[in-house]
């Protein structure tokens, strides 16, 4: 989704901005732009499509010496992905980049239009720059005008603004969308996530909601409301090496292959011989907790849903999963003794963050399961368990899902321990299985080859159903989501037992059904559901460790000892299937059309 970079310094200003945008590219965008101020002159450039187009546009431009720059990648919300709608947006003498949504932009636009201001774009962002200039005309004080602008806008934003009349300075503001400031050897940097700062700054200031101010190379004025604040720095991760493709065709492929390795990290010092330790959780965190409510979006929601089966079966605690965008606005009934768990790869998903804030306001204890330390969600929650998957760049989430599911499984065991829900033998079986998952997640080259070959038979149907029961139903949802995200083919995940209540009407030889048929759970029931579909001539791919002669194709699995090991082995298979189908269709697997890695608008 939209990304922001800013820089105040003397060397390589253009390259620094472009490199920063490059680091944000994986998040998804459809246009990009930058504005660079030298003395009191601003040059601005915008281009639709890939960053390469902005690189080409800025080729003749090379700022010499000290300059101040702001740059942006845009993922269209208000108005089409055109050059006019790309950021920076400009007034008469100032330029702005913005992430988020200005909810009251229409009344502001009307008011400014009455004052004679002309608008070029269809965006909400453009009102901010005109509003600032309008206040400036009245106040004759840029700092005061910026403050008034921030007071007047509503919604979510991270903003950088430069003005030809205020040399060497970047104005900034943050509410609801992330913004960091880092100081490096070459100058002062701004970014909407860590990625552009890693390797060039050791520390960053993670701006709190409601922060605003202005910065030069030497000074930083920071406020929350009218109160001056002292900036608090936090260390940044040191290396970016994990974010390179390393010979794989796509980041997604690399990240599927990485799952086994990162799972060792996820498990490290958490799984003991006969129990689970979660040292990040404060002593007594679960005291008084009688039920769990899990809330997330997209793939993270599927991890949440899978976890409800684990919590109820292993920990004997009531658990319910919610889609964040639905939960937030339906005036839900909440109980004081519920623990509210949010799950998010990025820690910045607006729907999830808003749900978390609402749960906090209602007085619930909150826990984040997240891949990004220092993210908004981690900072907002009472406690956090990090999934330790490393940077995930493919928009279609893979290793994040695997590690989220593992952390949730460990949490289920941890709660089971507290509640005495499992005996020692059961607990040992669980922890052994958790450890063995590292091996289960390794991609077997032969199987990958088989999936590559198989993929060519699954390109031209009228749709896909992924079916499973119990834990394998959320996995079926995830398989369908992976496939539609990157192949653009219609796919649905369905509880296998529910097919006969409607969807079976679609069954014919051009309907592709991917059946997740574990050995350890509801084997016979699942078999009957699959046979009902075969009888209607659906084309069926069985993913199973069973002997199953009736399917058109079988992906033979090895695991038969534990449902979660079967889950992880099948998960790798469906990830690879989606990947190979999308590659055959010639799609950009890492940056699928219309999608963003981190969705920071509601």
**Interface with ligand G6P by CB under 6 A: which residues?**
297-300, 344-346, 349, 352, 395, 397, 595, 597-599
- Closest contact distance (angstroms) between CB of 274 and ligand G6P is 32
Select 299 or 513, whichever has its Cβ closest to ligand G6P: 299
State how far the Cα of 226 lies from the Cα of 205, in Å rounded to an integer.
19
524-556 burial, b if ≥16 CB within 10 A, otherwise e?
eebbebbebbbeeebbbbbbbbbebeebebbbe
- Closest contact distance (angstroms) between CB of 150 and ligand G6P is 27
State how far the Cα of 150 lies from the Cα of 211, in Å rounded to an integer.
10
Q: Write the burial class of residue 199 (CB in 10 Å: 0-12 exposed, 13-18 middle, 19+ buried).
A: middle
Select 9 or 474, whichever has its Cβ closest to ligand G6P: 474
Q: Which of 323, 305, 326, 370 has the alpha carbon at shortest distance from 344?
A: 370
448-463 burial, b if ≥16 CB within 10 A, otherwise e?
bebbbebbeebeebeb
State how far the Cα of 428 lies from the Cα of 430, in Å rounded to an integer.
5
State how far the Cα of 72 lies from the Cα of 440, in Å rounded to an integer.
41
- Closest contact distance (angstroms) between CB of 342 and ligand G6P is 8
Contact partners, residue 521, CB within 8 Å, separation at least 6: 469, 470, 471, 472, 563, 566
Select 374 or 397, whichever has its Cβ closest to ligand G6P: 397
State how far the Cα of 286 lies from the Cα of 412, in Å rounded to an integer.
12
Q: Which of 541, 559, 561, 543 has the alpha carbon at shortest distance from 551?
A: 541
Secondary structure of 81-114 as H, E, C letters:
CCCCCCCCEECCCEEEEEEEEECCHHHHHHHHHH
- Closest contact distance (angstroms) between CB of 602 and ligand G6P is 12
Say which residue the tokens 């990485």 belong to. Answer: 258
Q: Is the dihedral of CA 197, 264, 310, 570 positive or negative?
A: positive
Select 344 or 431, whichever has its Cβ closest to ligand G6P: 344
Select 119 or 329, whichever has its Cβ closest to ligand G6P: 329
The residue number whose beta carbon is nearest to ligand G6P equals 298
Through-space distance between the first and last CA atoms of the chain, rounded to whole angstroms: 12
Select 5 or 400, whichever has its Cβ closest to ligand G6P: 400
Catalytic residue among 393, 399, 482, 597: 597
Select 217 or 595, whichever has its Cβ closest to ligand G6P: 595
- Closest contact distance (angstroms) between CB of 260 and ligand G6P is 21
Say which residue the tokens 């928009």 belong to. Answer: 395
**CA 191 to each of CA 18, 21, 517: distance values in angstroms, whole numbers, following the listed order:** 12, 9, 45
Select 4 or 395, whichever has its Cβ closest to ligand G6P: 395
* 186 neighbors 16 (Cβ within 8 angstroms): yes
State how far the Cα of 416 lies from the Cα of 316, in Å rounded to an integer.
7
State how far the Cα of 91 lies from the Cα of 129, in Å rounded to an integer.
6
Q: Which of 350, 361, 372, 335 has the alpha carbon at shortest distance from 296?
A: 350
Catalytic residue flag (residue 597)? yes
Catalytic residue among 2, 201, 295, 370: 2
Beta-sheet strand order (sheet of 3-9): 41-48, 31-38, 67-74, 3-9, 187-191, 180-184, 203-206, 233-235
- Closest contact distance (angstroms) between CB of 601 and ligand G6P is 11
For the record, the structure tokens of 58 come out as: 């800025």
Select 317 or 356, whichever has its Cβ closest to ligand G6P: 356
For the record, the structure tokens of 389 come out as: 């998957």
- Closest contact distance (angstroms) between CB of 367 and ligand G6P is 15
DSSP E strands in 357-462: the ranges are 365-370, 383-386
Select 252 or 467, whichever has its Cβ closest to ligand G6P: 252
- Closest contact distance (angstroms) between CB of 303 and ligand G6P is 9
Select 396 or 573, whichever has its Cβ closest to ligand G6P: 396
* 559 neighbors 433 (Cβ within 8 angstroms): no
Contact partners, residue 152, CB within 8 Å, separation at least 6: 108, 131
Number of residues in the chain: 602
- Closest contact distance (angstroms) between CB of 200 and ligand G6P is 24
- Closest contact distance (angstroms) between CB of 565 and ligand G6P is 23
Q: Which of 57, 41, 52 has the alpha carbon at shortest distance from 94?
A: 41
Residues annotated as catalytic are 2, 597
């Amino acid at each position: 989704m939209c990304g922001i970079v800013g820089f105040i310094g003397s060397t390589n200003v253009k390259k620094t901005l472009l490199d920063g945008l490059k680091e944000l590219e994986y998040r998804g965008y459809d246009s990009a732009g930058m504005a660079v101020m030298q003395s009191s002159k601003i040059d601005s450039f915008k281009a639709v499509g890939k960053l390469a187009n902005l690189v080409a546009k800025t080729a003749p431009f090379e700022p010499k010496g000290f300059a101040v720059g702001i740059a942006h990648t845009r993922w269209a919300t208000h108005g089409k992905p055109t050059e006019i709608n790309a950021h920076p947006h400009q007034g008469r003498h100032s330029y702005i980049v913005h992430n988020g949504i200005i909810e009251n932009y229409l009344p502001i636009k009307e008011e400014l239009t009455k004052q004679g201001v002309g608008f070029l774009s269809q965006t909400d962002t453009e009102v901010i720059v005109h509003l600032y200039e309008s206040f400036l005309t009245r106040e004759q004080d840029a700092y005061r005008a910026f403050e008034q602008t921030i007071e007047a806008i509503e919604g979510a934003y991270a903003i950088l603004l430069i003005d030809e009349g205020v040399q060497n300075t970047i104005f900034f503001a943050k509410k609801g969308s992330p913004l960091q400031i880092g100081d490096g050897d070459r100058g002062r940097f701004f970014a909407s996530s860590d990625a552009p700062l890693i390797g060039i700054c050791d520390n960053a200031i993670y701006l709190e909601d409601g922060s605003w101010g202005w910065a030069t190379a030497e000074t930083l004025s920071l406020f929350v409301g009218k109160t001056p604040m002292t900036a608090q720095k936090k260390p940044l991760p040191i290396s970016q090496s994990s974010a390179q493709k390393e010979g794989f065709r796509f980041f997604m492929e690399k990240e599927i292959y990485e799952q086994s390795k990162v799972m060792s990290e996820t498990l490290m010092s958490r799984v003991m011989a006969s129990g689970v330790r979660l040292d990040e959780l404060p002593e007594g965190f679960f005291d008084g907790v009688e039920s769990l409510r899990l809330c997330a979006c997209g793939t993270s929601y599927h991890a949440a849903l899978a976890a409800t089966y684990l919590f109820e079966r292993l920990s004997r605690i009531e658990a319910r999963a919610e889609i964040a965008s639905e939960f937030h606005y339906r005036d839900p009934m909440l109980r004081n003794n519920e623990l509210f768990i949010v799950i998010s790869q990025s820690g910045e998903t607006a729907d999830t963050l808003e749900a978390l804030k609402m749960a906090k306001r209602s007085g619930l204890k909150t826990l984040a399961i997240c891949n990004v330390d220092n993210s908004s969600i981690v900072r907002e929650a009472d406690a956090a368990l990090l999934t330790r998957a490393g940077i995930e760049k493919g928009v279609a989430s893979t290793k994040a899902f695997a590690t989220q599911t593992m952390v949730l499984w460990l949490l289920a065991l941890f709660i089971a321990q507290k509640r005495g829900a499992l005996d020692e033998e059961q607990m040992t079986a669980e922890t052994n299985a958790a450890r063995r998952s590292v091996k289960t997640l390794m991609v077997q080259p032969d199987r990958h080859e088989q999936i590559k070959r198989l993929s060519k038979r699954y390109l031209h149907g009228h749709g896909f159903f992924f079916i499973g029961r119990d834990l394998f139903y959320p996995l079926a949802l995830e398989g369908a989501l992976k496939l539609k995200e990157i192949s653009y083919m219609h796919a649905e995940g369905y509880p296998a037992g529910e097919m006969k209540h409607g969807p079976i009407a679609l069954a014919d030889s051009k309907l592709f059904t991917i059946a997740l048929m574990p050995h350890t759970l509801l084997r016979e029931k699942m078999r009957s559901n699959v046979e009902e579909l075969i009888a209607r001539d659906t084309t069926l791919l069985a993913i199973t460790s069973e002997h199953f002669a009736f399917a058109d194709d079988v992906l033979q699995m090895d695991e038969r000892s534990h449902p979660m090991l079967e889950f992880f082995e099948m998960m790798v298979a469906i990830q690879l299937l989606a990947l190979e189908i999308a590659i055959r269709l010639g799609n950009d697997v890492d940056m699928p059309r219309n999608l963003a890695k981190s969705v920071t608008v509601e």
